[in-house]
Chains A and B, each alone.
Chain A
Amino acid sequence: MGMRYRQYLAGTRVYGCSTCRTHLATIHSMLSRAFNGQHGRAYLFEGVVNVVEGEPSERQMTTGNHTVRDIFCVKCGTTLGWKYDRAYEPSQKYKEGKFILERNLLVDVQ
Chain B
Amino acid sequence: MRFPDNTDQDSALSVSLDFEPEAGPSSVALNNDLSAAVSNGNGHAVSNGHGGPLFSNGASSSTNGKLTAAGYASKGSHAISRVSLPGTKLYEDSHVDREEFVRLVIQSLRDVGYIESAATLEAESGYTMESPEVAEFRECILDGSWDSAEVTLSRLGVSDDESLRMARFLISQQKYLELLEASNVNAALHVLRSELAPLNTDVDKLHSLSGLIMCSNAEDLKSRAKWDGAAGVSRRQLLANLQRFIPSSVMIPQRRFASLLQQAYTHQRTQCLYHNAPYDSSAFSLYTDHHCSRDSFPSLTTHILAEHEDEVWNVQWSHCGRYLASASKDKTAIVWHIGVSLHPLRRPKTGPNTRDCIPEKVLRDHPYPVGCLAWSLDDSILLTSSEHIIKMWNPKTGLCVRELDAHTETVTSLVWLPDGSGFLSGSMDRKIILWDVDGKQRDTWGTTVIRVTDLAVTPDFSRLVAVGIHHLPSSANNSAVTLQDGGTPPTGAATQASTERRRDVENRLIIYDLATKQQEVSIRLEGELTSVKISQDSRYALVNHAPDEVQLWDLDSARMARRFTGQRQGKHVIRSCFGGVDGNFIVSGSEDGNVYVWHRDTGALLEALPGHGEGSVNSAAWNPKDERMFASCSDDCTIRIWEIPPPEMMEAVGSPMAEQNGKGKGRSRDGWDGTG
Contacts and interface: CB of A to CB of B under 8 A. Distances in A.
A16 B9 CA distance: 98
Interface string B482-508: 011111011000110110110011000
Interface string A1-27: 111111011111000000000000011
Interface of B is mostly: loop
A32 interface: yes
Nearest to A10: B471
Interface stretch (B151-159, B264-272, B455-463, B473-481): B473-481
Contacts of B572: 1-4
Contacts of A4: 571-573
B415 interface: no
Contacts of A26: 497, 501
B410 interface: yes
Contact of B484 (A1, A8, A9, A32): A32
B497 A29 contact: yes
Contact of B490 (A3, A6, A31): A31
A56 interface: no
Contact of B615 (A1, A5, A75): A1
A44 interface: yes
A30 B471 contact: no
A28 interface: yes
Given A4-B572, A30-B481, A32-B486, A46 B504 contact: no
B412 interface: yes
Q: How large is the interface on B (under 10, 10 to 19, 20 to 34, 35 or more residues)?
A: 35 or more
Interface in B352-383: 368-369, 371
B403 to A, nearest CB: 18
A29 B498 contact: yes
B122 interface: no
A5 B591 contact: no
Interface in B326-342: 329
Contacts of A5: 410, 412, 428, 453, 573
Interface residues of A, number: 29
A88 interface: no
A46 B451 contact: no
B618 A94 contact: no
Given A31-B484, A46-B497, A1 B490 contact: no
A30 B428 CA distance: 25
Contacts of A11: 474, 476, 478, 501, 504
B494 A28 contact: yes
A3 B469 CA distance: 17
A13 B550 CA distance: 35
6 contacts: A3-B573, A4-B571, A11-B504, A32-B484, A34-B486, A35-B486
Interface of B: 311, 313, 329, 368-369, 371, 387, 409-410, 412, 428, 451, 453, 469, 471-472, 474, 476, 478, 481, 483-487, 489-490, 494-495, 497-498, 500-501, 504-505, 571-573, 591, 614-616, 618, 635
Interface of A: 1-6, 8-12, 26-35, 44, 46-47, 63, 75, 91, 93-94
Given A1-B572, A94-B489, 20 more contacts: A2-B571, A3-B329, A3-B573, A3-B616, A5-B410, A10-B505, A11-B478, A11-B504, A26-B501, A28-B474, A28-B494, A29-B494, A31-B483, A31-B484, A31-B490, A32-B483, A32-B490, A35-B486, A46-B497, A46-B498
